[in-house]
Amino acid sequence: MKILQTEIYKICTRKILYLGLFAGLLFLGFYFWTGVLGGEYVYEDGICYRRMEAIEKNLEAAKNYEGPLTREKAEDIIDTFGWTEYADNLKTDPETGDTKKGYYENACNRFVTESLSTRRWGSEFPALVRAQDVPEISALMDGGLEYAYGDVWGSDFLEMHMMARLILAVLTVIAAAPVFSEEYALGTVNVLMTTEYGRGKNAVCKAGAVLGLTGILYLAVSGAFFALFAGVYGTEGLRASGELVFPDLYYMGASRGTAGGLLLRYLLAGFLANIGTGGITLFISSRCRQTFKSLLWSLFFYVLPLIMYSIILTMLGPSRTVILLRGIIGSLTLFMPMAELSSASAVFRWSEYGIVAVVTVFCVLKGCRRYSRYQIT
């Protein structure tokens, strides 16, 4: 326990981690204030409401339509509020944002207009999609799915959390890169052979400290994000069906249950991905004699799969080999948790998680073994 406490203390004394975390949270807070809250608006009888007032109006309007989504309910939303218009077509007051009297736009009729009507296909005069036109969209209004004001959980929350995961991954690399390589560089690694505990226990405690701290940090940041969005937008949207909160799912014919359950699985997958980043960095650290070199190689191996996944493999076009490579590479990158938001089968998703778990365990064990047997020459 004393060794573990010492290793935790060594990691926590690195000021760059505090600076990085503070800068990252400051950026995310600024983005939330300007990008998320700044993008909230509601029109009620031509009057424009923004930020918290708009959220309150959305919650109030959606409360009357919560529950099973039916065609009758969608028609009632349009009868009450009308169809939304494109922003370019709105003639608004530059100072107040108000537009013509009698115009309404909120989360309810915006959802029906953009997701359930022919507007998606460029129709000048929107109408609710019929079964003979697009059966998949029409089926959304058969009463089998739960509607609630939850679109923010499917767009803004995911976008901000993805940025947070990228920041946390970089902090994980910064925390793990010097763990083994720093002792090689300082020449203290051989001294530990003569101590009471030896290098073996030291290696295990070093790995445990890194993975434990980065895991706790991920859960803390994710919990803070969830509390922030729940406090501002409420939790009603988490009870909605995942297909209505994450539109891509119903186009791909995937069912994932409620939005809350889907987000929970998404967050847990992100936790596993972050632990995997720490494990791979420990492996690299055990094979580098300089801390800076370990840091560069760790960042390179984190960014390389992103480049291969989103650029190189995309240029090659679809094929079974490319799909397989995208699955393997994507399971070790920022994209891995996104499998929960895709049409991927349960077998594919669990295979990705299994790959991450196996790679993490392998890297940690090999890194500890390498450190325990290292000899300075």
- CA proximity to 179, closest of 271, 276, 284: 284
Q: What is the pLDDT of residues 48-64, one digit of tens each?
A: 889 888 888 888 888 88
CA 232 to chain centre: 19
Cβ count near 80 (within 10 Å): 14
Residue 330 is predicted with a pLDDT of 65
- Tell me the C-alpha distance between 181 and 7, whole Å: 14
Q: Measure the CA–CA gap between 277 and 234, rounded to whole angstroms.
A: 32
For residue 12, the surrounding DSSP H or E stretch is helix 2-12
What backbone torsions phi and psi does residue 223 show, to the nearest 5 degrees? Answer: -65, -40
Which residue's structure tokens are 């767009």?
155
Task: Tell me the backbone φ, ψ of residue 370, rounded to 5 degrees.
Answer: -60, -45
Tell me the three state secondary structure of residue 268.
helix
Mean pLDDT lowest among 228-237, 277-286, 307-316, 336-345: 307-316
**pLDDT score, position 252:** 60
Residue pLDDT, tens place only, 160-176? 888 898 888 888 888 88
pLDDT of 153: 82
Residue 185: pLDDT band with limits 50, 70, 90 = low
User: Measured on CA atoms in the order 30, 36, 37, 43, is the torsion positive or negative?
Assistant: positive
DSSP 308: I
Check residues 277 and 121 and name the one with the higher pLDDT. 277
Token pair, residue 61, equals 């309007």
Q: What average pLDDT does the chain have? A: 79
The candidate with the shortest Cα–Cα distance to 276, out of 302, 254, 253, is 302
C-alpha–C-alpha distance, residues 208 and 194, integer Å: 22
Mind listing the pLDDT tens digit for each residue in 78-92? 888 888 887 667 787
Give the position of tokens 């989360």: 107
Q: Report helix, strand or coil for 282.
A: helix
Please, which pLDDT band fits residue 320 given cuts at 50, 70 and 90? low
